[in-house]
Structure 1
Amino acid sequence: MRIAQLAGRTVLLTLDGAVDVATASADRFSADPADLFGQWDDLLDWSSDIDPALAGPYKESDLLAPLPEPRQVFAVALNYRPHTAEAGYQEPAEPLVFTKFPSCITGPHATIDLPPGHVDWELEAVAVIGRHAHRVPREKGWDPVVALTVGQDLSERIVQLAGRPAQFSLGKSFPGFGPVGPALVSLDELPDPDDLELTCELNGETVQHDRTSNMIFPVPTLVSYLSAICPLRPGDLIFTGTPAGVGNRRTPPRFLGPDDTLVSRIGGLGEMRHTFRSAP
């Protein structure tokens, strides 16, 4: 099942097009994505037998953030060994966690304003929490996760790294700095949700490429670690970390500029495409 947002309505993306979930279900399911998690299993069953005639054409560029107002957005630093090495750090003994503020969330196709400074890319797989979770053991860490999606942890490095110690969250939360999409992809769509291919391209050049199986702390470990402290709620997002290839660790450093095009792709989850302009 692939759940997306189109014209402010929740839709099911199929091979035949987009199905308006509320209309097709005679309002059994809500048009508001935040209301769907309490009915997720029923929605899965319903979606498996949808009438193809209910689907209509749509443009991928019209898709919005599939979950536009998450309550909590967690993110993880240094979760791939090559990225840890390029950043000049030792492999962490436990997850390094920060937050992105929910107001930074935007959709999979957008033009993003660049604030002054050095704006960098960070492709990430994003885990979508669909069930209340607190103190989840690692062996059950996938249980609260109902979907995955593509994300970019865009970062303005000057604000991010200012101060001693550095305070990450503000530099990663400018408007548009949390693109997600194109859809919430249920785990049954994926042959192995622990092993997905990530590819990030800047103006046609591949700048990041890895697999989620190379995470230091995989999704079940992150869910267990976070839920030991913070109760996780339906609709929460976990940005799971980025692989090597970010701009500020290149020689010379490279950052996003006006008219750049950033393509973010994860096998089985889909693709996002963003352009950039100077902030007015």
Structure 2
Amino acid sequence: MVLKLSLKLLKFQRIMAANYSSKPSTELPLRFVQFIRKNESNKQLGVLANDGLTLHPLPNGTCDNSMINLIKQDANEIGKNLSSLKSEQLNADIELLPPVTNPEKIVCIGLNYLDHCLEQNKPKPKEPMFFSKFASTLVGPAGNVIAHKVSNKIDFEVELAVIIGKEAKNVSKEHALDYVFGYSVAQDISARDWQKERNGGQFLIGKSMDSFCPLGPAIVHKSLVEDPHNLQIITRINGVEKQNGNTKDMIYKIDDIIHELTKSITLKPGDVILTGTPAGVGMHRNPPEYLKPGDVIESEIQSVGKLLNKVVADE
């Protein structure tokens, strides 16, 4: 068992290390995580260093150990308090959680990459197509995805996640990015039979089964992402590349999305927006390729990070 844990950790560390700058820096980057220690019940907040392997825990009780409370703080003030933090290496006794675990909303947008529209012979939408997922779908960057017995058409969709930083209502497109705190990597796991064939055509169950939203590994503050609309975005299944796109190909950009949403919905700090997926999903392959127990999903976004999630049987 210990050997299995060590191998799993080693593989995950290699993936994490590949996603962060190797440039020397005297300051800690604003890459915020939530984690829990083995045999403890309370989650803590921390910061990941540039190597992706070194964790700097924030003092226990910081912001009441709430990522949403931290998000509400001024990022510059947060940064001033990081230099004195102690560090430790990620190890098998530390589990990285989804960087936000209790958002008020997870809002998703469908058909937001032109190549994803083309692979299913659908026209570009005339307006953003929104749907939602429950917060109970969230799992961490190395959490398991359950192959639920009620579905045999479970699919993958890598997406750039936007984390809202402050309350937003009736926001102009010009000021929309001011309301973003940071970015993360997400997988919009989907039971296509429930999304397309059952439940009266409503997406909710097909998108909201337990474990259907891996998120992480960190919330990367927007100051570290030069252009969120020019990031390579990739999915690999069992090491084989299935999706390879770029966020520049979004039909509706992040400012469009926030502007349209806040005409009628108030976004709150910690809310998560999934911004769509490029072509290559399993449903539209020939023949279709659906996830099964034992599969490993790698989800990578340039400058943001990677997820490594194993598909496990429903028990």
The TM-score bracket by the shorter chain reads over 0.9
Distance 2:297 2:284 in 1: 18
Distance 2:200 2:74 in 1: 41
Aligned with 1:37 (options 71, 87, 91): 71
Q: Which of 184-193 and 242-251 deviates more?
A: 184-193
Give, as a single letter, the amino acid of the residue that structure 1 aligns with 2:86.
L
Distance 1:163 1:274 in 2: 26
- The runs of 4+ residues in structure 1 deviating greater than 6 Å are none
Q: Which residue is equivalent to 2:270? A: 235
Cα deviations across residues 29-48 of structure 1 (Å, max 9, x unaligned)? 4421121122132444325x
Asked if 2 retains the 8 angstrom alpha-carbon contact of 1:125 and 1:239, the reply is yes
Are 2:36 and 1:4 equivalent residues in the alignment?
Answer: no
1:149-160 correspondence runs (5 A) = 149-160=184-195
Aligned with 1:96 (options 108, 125, 129): 129
Distance 2:32 2:111 in 1: 29
* Change in CA separation of 1:155 and 1:19 when aligned onto 2, cut-off 3 Å: same
Cα deviations across residues 97-149 of structure 1 (Å, max 9, x unaligned)? 00011111111101221013210000000000010000111111101111000
Give, as a single letter, the amino acid of the residue that structure 2 aligns with 1:19.
H
1:1-280 correspondence runs (5 A) = 1-7=30-36, 8-15=43-50, 17-23=54-60, 29-46=63-80, 50-51=83-84, 54-59=86-91, 62-115=95-148, 116-163=151-198, 166-280=201-315
| TM superposition shift of 1:22 | 2.8
2:144 is paired with a residue of what secondary structure?
strand
TM-score (norm 1): 0.93
Asked if 1 retains the 8 angstrom alpha-carbon contact of 2:45 and 2:62, the reply is no
1:87 is paired with a residue of what secondary structure?
coil
Asked if 2 retains the 8 angstrom alpha-carbon contact of 1:112 and 1:275, the reply is yes
Asked if 1 retains the 8 angstrom alpha-carbon contact of 2:157 and 2:277, the reply is yes
1:74 is paired with a residue of what secondary structure?
strand
* Change in CA separation of 1:258 and 1:28 when aligned onto 2, cut-off 3 Å: closer
Distance 2:98 2:72 in 1: 20
Give, as a single letter, the amino acid of the residue that structure 2 aligns with 1:232.
L
Asked if 2 retains the 8 angstrom alpha-carbon contact of 1:14 and 1:55, the reply is no
Asked if 1 retains the 8 angstrom alpha-carbon contact of 2:199 and 2:205, the reply is no
Cα deviations across residues 219-238 of structure 1 (Å, max 9, x unaligned)? 11101011111010011000
| TM superposition shift of 1:193 | 2.0
Q: Which of 14-23 and 217-226 deviates more?
A: 14-23
In the comparison of the two structures, how many residue pairs are matched?
275
Give, as a single letter, the amino acid of the residue that structure 2 aligns with 1:33.
M
Distance 2:293 2:102 in 1: 27
Gaps of 5+ in 2: 1-29, 37-42
| TM superposition shift of 1:262 | 0.5
Distance 2:249 2:276 in 1: 11
Distance 1:102 1:89 in 2: 29
* Change in CA separation of 1:9 and 1:83 when aligned onto 2, cut-off 3 Å: same
Give, as a single letter, the amino acid of the residue that structure 2 aligns with 1:152.
Q
Cα deviations across residues 245-278 of structure 1 (Å, max 9, x unaligned)? 0000011111001100110000111100011122
| TM superposition shift of 1:194 | 1.9
TM-score (norm 2): 0.83
1:141 is paired with a residue of what secondary structure?
helix
